[in-house]
Amino acid sequence: MCVIDSGIYRASPDFVTANLSGDDTSSTILWSQDTCKHGTHCSGTIAGKNDSIGVVGVAYDAKIHSIRVFSSGTNGCGWSYASGLIGASNLCKAAGAKVISMSLGGGGASTTESNQFQSLYANDGILSVAAAGNGASSAYSYPASYPSVMSVAAVDSNSNIASFSQFNDQVDIAAPGVSTKSVNSGDTTGNNVLTYSGTSMATPHVAAVAALLFAKFSTSSPKQDVINIRNAIQVTAQDRGTAGRDNQFGYGIVKAYDAYQCLSTGSCVAQPPVAPPPCTDNPVGWYDIDGPTYSCSWYAQGSNCATYGNSYANFGKTANQACCVCGGGITGPAPSPVVAPTPTKAPTKTPSRTPSRSPSKSPTKSPGVCVDNPQGWYDIDGPTYSCPWYAQGSNCATYGNSYANFGKTANQACCACGGGVISTCTDNPVGWYDSDGPTYSCAWYAQGSNCASYGNVYANFGKTANQACCVCGGGSAYSAMSLQSGGNQMKTAGDKKQYNGNGNTKTNKSCSNCGPYGSGNSGTNPLHKGS
């Protein structure tokens, strides 16, 4: 087995040192070192030692020959090998490798490079395996998209395609590639494992299965062996997505034992499609801390799971834990919605700072519209269970006559449940709250004598409650202002997380695996080889 990557941390106790070898690609680029950590992680998936520490590799007795092509730039993850991928693959051939694993790629195709991999396959019986790419698009990545190379997509723990995985007619196979644990370069204990996501992580799973099959079924005809083994991997894959081969999963998810059985018995026939296990978002109706706009449906778009799925937790979970589309949720019976029967106490007033941002305009209202009454109403279990929450599914029917708050149930307060009032008055700005935060909205001022007691103080967005809230005699007829996500979080659904909780612009940290062939997150591609 040959791994073309960022080297390997030979000193890790989770490797059998005698099974490791490699080629230094210069006097300073040593195969046995890995400042990037990427190559060690991929190698651990293949050959992590079969013991009680760290991880156990898919082919834990495999011998790994490491070619280090990444060592430059930040964290040592930039391409640095002058001889290029052709030179690296020739070193693999010279080392006697039967399988080449490449968790790397780029957008530029080369006829010379394509011919090289075709020759390795057809003339030398070497199977090359590479990452399909993490661009969440149909773009081709190379070397994965050369016909002679197996292109590997990534799936999550629910056997669903990873949100970042590239999809096209060159994808051959899929394998686990979301939150994959493996050996951590620099860790001397073997137990401080590293978790990465990406088609980079899926690739060594397939390469390791191929190595197992070569170890068992190699004959005196290597040219036929590579054809048989590639075919066995493909026809025994667990079919997912559209029946038969499709652009997301290729032939399906790699199945080592089925491929072994197929070659053992000479009965390499494709498995029937397997229905995915039922998955339900948990909790049902989850959305992140920035509000209902950023629900599991929003995370299903593009690469949002990969980019934001481990941040912005709400209800005790991130999107990658709560949403099926991000590899979370639960299988089996659906959980209950997120309403809990425990009542909560009404808030008390405490002055605090005013927001730093002003509200933005929204379209004007027409006369005689239904307005939630009080506007901004939510039930006794808190702001999560507002009129928009009750508008989902059968929540009005199931809970609408219970959990009263501000003197009303949802069926009385919410237009979505048949309540509310027909009014020409609109809070201005819509969604106003005072300088102490969203708790003290117009709905709060509707309680008791709050308008009289506090309505001329605690101004926010340029207005007091007595100016902004219809319940306090303020508001306006028809036209109004709208707060998209609160005074200090002016963002749109198309520009997720533009601001954080204190109004500062959020930027992604750079990291060793933030690019299209590492963790699945957006950013500069640290593993994109030179053209």
Q: Known catalytic residues?
A: 5, 38, 200
3 state SS for 140-206: CCECCCCCCEEEEEEECCCCCECCCCCCCCCEEEEEECCCEEECCCCCCCCCCCEEECCHHHHHHHH
Question: H/E element holding 235?
Answer: helix 222-235
- Residue 278 CA to residue 264 CA, distance in Å, equals 33
Whether residue 8 contacts residue 67, with contact meaning beta carbons closer than 8 Å, is answered with: no
- Give the total residue count for the chain: 531
Residue with tokens 């005013």: 354
DSSP state of 472: G
- Residue 55 CA to residue 15 CA, distance in Å, equals 10
Whether residue 400 contacts residue 410, with contact meaning beta carbons closer than 8 Å, is answered with: yes
DSSP state of 517: T
Whether residue 415 contacts residue 370, with contact meaning beta carbons closer than 8 Å, is answered with: yes
* Non-local CB neighbours of 333 within 8 Å, separated by 6+ positions: 280
H-type alpha helices, 364-481: 387-390, 395-399, 410-413, 442-445, 450-454, 465-468
* Non-local CB neighbours of 269 within 8 Å, separated by 6+ positions: 235, 262
Give SS3 for 102: strand
Residue with tokens 């003339």: 123
Q: Is 435 left (phi over 0), alpha (psi -120 to 50) or beta?
A: alpha
Q: How many CB atoms neighbour CB 280 within 10 A?
A: 14
Whether residue 247 contacts residue 171, with contact meaning beta carbons closer than 8 Å, is answered with: yes
Whether residue 60 contacts residue 510, with contact meaning beta carbons closer than 8 Å, is answered with: no
Give SS3 for 412: helix
* Non-local CB neighbours of 49 within 8 Å, separated by 6+ positions: 13, 14, 15, 16, 56, 57, 60, 190
Whether residue 286 contacts residue 315, with contact meaning beta carbons closer than 8 Å, is answered with: yes
